[in-house]
Amino acid sequence: MHVIIAGNDEDEGQEAVRKIKEETLNEKVEFIHCDLASMKSIQQFVQQFRVKNCPLHVLVNNAGVMLVPERKTEDGFEEHFGVNYLGHFLLTNLLLDMLKLSGTHSHNARIISVSSAVHYVGELHLNDLQSRYSYSPHGAYAQSKLALVLFTYLLQHLLTAEGSFVTANVVDPGVVDTDLYRHVFWAVRMVKWITSWLFFKTAEEGASTSIYAAVSPELEGVGGTYLYNEQRTKSVDISYDEELQRKLWTESCKMVGISDISICL
């Protein structure tokens, strides 16, 4: 595979490229800057990718922030909702035509979005998606992860309705030992440090279900599923609400300034 790592940290991105090349001897690995907290950066990334004239067989939406203090992205979105959800929503929609051109009947292109088990306790506040009236880091994080599940299910419905050879699935990586926890209370960080070997997955273990969703022959042509530990699992009941899915999609299109393709179906 030709692998492109999109990220907002040039040094970390280039270090990841170096390690992958060293360990796999695959020279077709590169880094392109993309900050999901900036719609301008996302658009610039897509332009750079298009210039390469590469096919796009797999898109993994994996960026995220967790439990950050109340603050806004460059475009004025609440950071959890803006980075975890809207950034991926815009990126996916801007790359959708390339995914459709790359997928075939026997080899569907695949979209994988990384959610979390916390979506089970999430609530989607359509009248306050930016958490302006009542901000809770936990509530905002959970809402962003629920939004990813709702988005994935409607996206798959739209792709199926138009006969596209593209599938969309959502992944729960489990509790993974990463830097996402740097904003939690110090006592929680101490407990995490002490118990991580017992309760937390390594980054490699956490990535396994995303990799399964990206390359497993078992999922060829299969979309609209929630995956945990490489198994199809039921997501929270509200995530299957088609009316809620459509309302979120329509509102998301307005927020990022793109056409709403869902109204055509």
Angle at 229 between CA 28 and CA 4, to 5 degrees: 15
pLDDT of 179: 57
* Model confidence at 232: pLDDT above 90: yes
Q: Is the model's pLDDT at 198 over the cut of 50?
A: no
Q: Which CATH class is domain 56-256?
A: alpha beta
The model's pLDDT over 86-118, given as tens digits with 9 standing for 90+, comes to 999 999 999 999 999 999 999 999 999 999 999
Per the residue annotation, which of 85, 120, 141, 153 is the catalytic one?
141
The answer to whether residue 153 is catalytic is no
Helix (H) or strand (E) holding 6: strand 3-7
Q: What is the pLDDT of residues 125-169, one digit of tens each?
A: 999 999 988 899 999 999 999 999 999 999 999 999 999 999 999
User: Computed over its alpha carbons, how large is the radius of gyration of the chain?
Assistant: 18
Q: What is the pLDDT of residue 200?
A: 61
DSSP assigned state of 84: I
Whole-number Å distance between alpha carbons of 257 and 221: 30
N-term to C-term CA, the chain = 34
